[in-house]
């Protein structure tokens, strides 16, 4: 099932400069820890996530995991395909939105359900990562919530004494 939303497509064309390359991966996956910490923010009509990490790279990984964990429920996701993703932004908050919207765009246009996120380099203006997963299979995977977009509303990406924190709203 391929889902396509013109707003997301237009957003990607106008705001995101990303490179996507699909590659086969080995049976052992990418050898990267999948489960990350995040919490749900109480927001009317949308879903908010709060995540923290010791590094900016880990923050991007945690946010990506939270996005897909919120969207999809049930069924083991195999690591059959991986994609290289490079996303840029003007600052850390815009880079975070561009990163998550690019992953959402890949899910919608290629039906690629991702569970493994390895950010190789990240700063406030760019993310370079390899993500892994498999094609969405409706007989094994369930869409728990349909996320239309990642928004700038109430967006926070900030450095703290203990590392980094982000508060992100998802338009559902």
From CA 32, how far away is CA 119, in angstroms rounded?
Answer: 10
pLDDT score recorded for residue 27: 32
The residues spanned by each domain of the chain are 36-171
Kindly state the tokens that stand for 33: 């820890």
Strand intervals (E) in 25-92: 39-41, 47-53, 72-73, 81-88
pLDDT score recorded for residue 73: 75
pTM, full prediction: 0.76
Mean pLDDT across the chain: 80
Residue 66, pLDDT > 90, answer: yes
Mean pLDDT of 145-157: 93
| Domain 36-171, CATH | 3.55.10.10
pLDDT in tens, 2-58: 443 433 333 333 333 333 333 333 333 333 344 557 766 666 668 899 999 999 999
Kindly state the tokens that stand for 119: 């950010």
Mean pLDDT of 141-152: 90
pLDDT score recorded for residue 40: 67
pLDDT in tens, 100-129: 999 999 999 999 999 899 999 999 999 999
Tell me if 144 sits within 8 A of 47, measured CB to CB: no
Q: Which residues pair with 21 in a beta bridge?
A: 84
From CA 95, how far away is CA 85, in angstroms rounded?
Answer: 12
Q: Could you give the C-alpha distances from 148 to 41, 100, 105, in angstroms and in order?
A: 17, 11, 10
């Amino acid at each position: 099932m391929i889902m396509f939303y013109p707003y997301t497509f237009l957003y990607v064309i106008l705001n995101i400069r990303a490179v996507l390359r699909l590659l086969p991966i080995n049976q052992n996956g990418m050898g990267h820890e999948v489960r990350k910490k995040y919490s749900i923010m109480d927001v009317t009509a949308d879903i908010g996530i709060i995540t923290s990490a010791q590094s900016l790279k880990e923050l991007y990984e945690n946010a990506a995991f939270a996005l897909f964990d919120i969207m999809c429920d049930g069924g083991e996701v195999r690591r059959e395909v991986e994609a290289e993703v490079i996303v840029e932004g003007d600052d850390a908050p815009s880079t975070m939105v561009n990163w998550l919207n690019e992953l959402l765009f890949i899910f919608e246009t290629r039906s690629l359900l991702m569970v493994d996120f390895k950010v190789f380099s990240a700063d406030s203006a760019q993310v370079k990562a390899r993500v892994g997963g498999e094609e969405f299979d409706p007989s094994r995977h369930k869409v728990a919530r349909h996320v239309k977009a990642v928004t700038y509303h109430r967006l926070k990406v900030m450095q703290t004494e203990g590392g980094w924190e982000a508060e992100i709203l998802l338009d559902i």
